């Protein structure tokens, strides 16, 4: 058994260890947390043979540099629109790589993206065997604002690799199948589906119509708690007299000044700003990945549709993760087998 | 189920869908004892006997969130069970647990005590006495893990939040704004006024029960001097 570890050479802000998150303590102010993009995180883990919910490294647009020590480390990287280098050589950003002892993995936002905005805001680095980090309330997810659980990466930090024993299967190296990205576009712009409410009564007449009619822009004021959106001001009634109320991930919260914020994994569990609508679970990963400058639209669905979407999405994710997890000799081999699996699951 | 028009025949309860896997049960509009009692009663009923597919329940001031797994159940099914529980769960809320929390109001640990005293036109000793006189109710948690909002601050020492947050306010700080007080769980910026420091850890991350309070508990404060504070803990 190797005693390998990853030493952080550099880390941008908000680079942290995340596993599948922790449910059950929202009544004590603890959000579920976990990855901003759960599917990308699960994909990176499955590709190196881990449980999809294992602890892995979530990389912000600030990027990260990780050096292997004490042995080779096999990493699964899922970071489209990120530049990936292994030992100084440019490599695929959606693939499993072997990081030799002493070599460095670099993940940073591509500077050569001439289209302007990149397509993703978060990348994931999973390590075969998983990484060690503090468990809190049954989870190794980092609550970034407080540092509770997991680990916030900074230069000099050493993350032990909890390798299972044998050298990871060499056939896992190489490209990772791309996931079926849920959600739809509308006139070429991302389209996020929302369920109206729960506090529509706190808004001025016409606010819901404004939400659905407008084109919104993702601002650069965002973190793991939420992202402010640029668009029309949505009128709030009696903004100062609203009792604090429980909040979920995906909520569209509107402050007293009428500015809308989309809440993410580390959201406050209660708050006094009213919520006009909630993005459906099936679109949350995609919503979190929209980088600053992205223009998007919202469309309303009924609660029953949101539940149906969640079930379809869960089946598609499960089929995708099974495909990624199955070690095959070639990508084509894996894809052929997965089509059969997906056909059975999705019927 | 249509949002907003789902009114219970026996009360003004509203059950609103929240995204793909939650319901907000709104039990009133005013933050009075009756509404709070109904929130607590439903919280206890759902905690004691969860709805099929229930993930967790989050009580707040006038409403309560029921989080469920959409792969197991849906809004209409959970709403139906919640409404039946509302009709049958007439049980009085459990007897509240009581906590006595020590606070040191020494000026070294109370950077805003003098400013609050000046703002409300009282002596610092009168502000401390008013803070100690309160019989507080754990109203809800929020902001960050372990931040329990305690209701029941004496109206004579109510102050608004500061214009700007002060960074790095240590864990254990006893802070006030408007009608509430908090014993902070972690070191963070806050715009609330710091009246003192407690050696009591309200969040003990490594404990099996990491949170000292639950919603509905009662809290009173007991004054300690600086020497006692330093003997009991550093408060940092």
Among A23, A145, A278, select the one facing B55 at the smallest CB separation.
A23
Q: Is the model's pLDDT at B236 over the cut of 50?
A: no
- Give the pLDDT confidence score for residue A269 in this predicted structure: 97
Identify the weakest region by mean pLDDT among A7-11, A18-22, B31-35: B31-35
ipTM of the complex: 0.92
* Phi, psi for residue B209 in degrees, rounded to 5: -115, 85
- Residue showing tokens 């504070």: B229
**How high is the mean pLDDT of chain A?**
89
Q: Is A85 on the interface with B (CB under 8 A)?
A: no
Distance CA(A200)–CA(A83), nearest Å, equals 42
pLDDT of B165 above 70: yes
User: Which residue in the block uniquely carries the two structure tokens 């997965």?
Assistant: A338
The more confident residue out of A64 and A255 is A64
Strand B180-183 with B218-224, pairing: unpaired
- What is d(CA B94, CA A329) in angstroms, rounded to the nearest whole number? 61
Taking the Cβ of residue B142 and every Cβ of chain A, the question of whether any pair is shorter than 8 Å is answered with: yes
In angstroms, what separates the C-alpha of B57 from chain A's closest C-alpha? Answer: 7
Chain B residues touching residue A29 (CB < 8 angstroms): 141-148, 185
Q: Exposed, middle or buried, B133 (CB in 10 Å: 0-12/13-18/19+)?
A: middle
Query: Given this model, what pLDDT does residue A342 score?
Result: 44
- Per-residue pLDDT band at A341 (split at 50, 70, 90): very low
Helices vs. strands in chain A: H and E counts, helices first: 5, 22
For residue B197, pLDDT over 70 is answered with yes
pLDDT for the residue A113 = 52
Cα gap B116→A270, rounded to integer Å:
27
Nearest one of A269, A254, A264, A250 to A310, comparing CA atoms: A250
Residues of B in contact with A30 (CB under 8 A): 145
Residue range A24-53, pLDDT digits in tens: 999 999 999 999 999 999 999 999 999 999
pLDDT value at residue B105? 98
Interface probe with B: pick from A20, A21, A24, A28, most Cβ of B within 10 Å: A28
Assign B176 to helix, strand or coil. Answer: strand
- Mutation target to probe the A interface, by most A beta carbons within 10 A, among B20, B28, B72 is B20
pTM score, two decimals? 0.91
Nearest to B143 among A24, A29, A137 (CB): A29
Q: Taking a C-beta distance cutoff of 8 angstroms, is the pair B68, B54 a contact?
A: yes
């Amino acid at each position: 058994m190797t005693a390998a570890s990853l030493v952080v050479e550099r880390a941008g802000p908000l680079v942290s260890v995340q596993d599948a998150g922790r449910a059950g303590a929202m009544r004590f102010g603890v959000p579920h947390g976990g990855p901003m993009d759960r599917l990308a995180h699960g994909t990176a883990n499955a590709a190196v043979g881990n449980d999809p919910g294992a602890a892995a490294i979530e990389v912000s647009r600030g990027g990260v540099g990780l050096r292997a020590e004490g042995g080779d480390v096999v990493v699964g990287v899922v970071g489209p629109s990120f530049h990936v280098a292994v030992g100084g050589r440019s490599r695929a950003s959606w693939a499993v790589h072997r990081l030799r002892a002493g070599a460095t993995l670099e993940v940073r936002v591509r500077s050569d993206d001439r289209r302007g905005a990149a397509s993703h805001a978060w990348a994931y680095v999973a390590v075969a065997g998983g990484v060690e980090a503090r468990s809190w309330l049954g989870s190794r997810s980092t609550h970034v604002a407080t540092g509770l659980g997991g680990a916030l990466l900074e230069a000099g930090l050493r993350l032990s690799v909890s390798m299972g024993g044998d050298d990871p299967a060499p056939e896992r190296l190489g490209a990772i199948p791309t996931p079926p990205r849920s959600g739809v576009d509308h006139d070429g712009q991302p389209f996020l589906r929302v369920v109206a409410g729960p506090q529509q009564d706190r808004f001025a007449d016409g606010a819901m119509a404004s939400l659905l009619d407008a084109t919104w822009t993702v601002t650069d004021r965002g973190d793991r708690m939420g992202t402010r959106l640029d668009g029309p001001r949505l009128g709030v009634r009696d903004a100062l007299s609203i009792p604090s109320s429980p909040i979920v991930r995906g909520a569209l919260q509107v402050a007293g000044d009428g500015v809308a914020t989309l809440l993410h994994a580390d959201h406050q569990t209660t708050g006094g700003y009213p919520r006009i609508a909630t993005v459906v679970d099936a679109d949350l990963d995609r919503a979190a990945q929209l980088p600053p400058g992205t223009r998007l639209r919202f469309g309303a669905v009924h609660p029953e549709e949101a539940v149906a979407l969640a079930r379809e999405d869960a089946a598609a994710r499960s089929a995708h993760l099974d495909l990624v997890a199955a070690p095959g000799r070639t990508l084509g081999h894996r894809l052929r087998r997965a089509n059969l699996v997906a056909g059975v699951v999705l019927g | 189920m249509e949002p907003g028009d789902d009114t219970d025949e026996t009360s003004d309860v509203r059950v609103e869908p929240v995204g793909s896997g939650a319901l907000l049960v709104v039990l009133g509009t005013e933050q009075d004892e009756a509404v709070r009692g109904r929130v607590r009663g439903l919280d206890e009923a759902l905690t004691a006997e969860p709805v099929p597919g229930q993930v967790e329940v989050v009580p707040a001031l006038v409403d309560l969130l029921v989080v469920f797994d959409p792969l197991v159940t849906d809004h209409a099914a959970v709403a139906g069970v919640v409404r039946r529980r509302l009709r049958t769960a007439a049980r009085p809320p459990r007897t509240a647990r009581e906590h006595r929390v020590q606070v040191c109001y020494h000026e070294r640990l109370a950077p805003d005590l003098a400013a609050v005293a000046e703002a409300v036109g009282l002596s610092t000793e009168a502000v401390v006495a008013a803070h100690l006189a309160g019989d507080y109710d754990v109203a809800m948690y929020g902001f960050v893990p372990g931040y329990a909002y305690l209701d029941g601050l004496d109206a004579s020492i109510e102050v608004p939040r500061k214009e700007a947050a002060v960074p790095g306010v240590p864990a254990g700080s006893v802070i006030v704004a408007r009608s509430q007080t908090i014993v902070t769980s972690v070191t963070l910026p806050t715009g609330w006024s710091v009246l003192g420091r407690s050696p009591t850890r309200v969040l003990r991350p490594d404990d099996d029960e990491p949170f000292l309070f639950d919603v509905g508990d009662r809290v009173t404060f007991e004054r300690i001097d600086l020497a006692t504070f330093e003997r009991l803990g550093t408060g940092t």
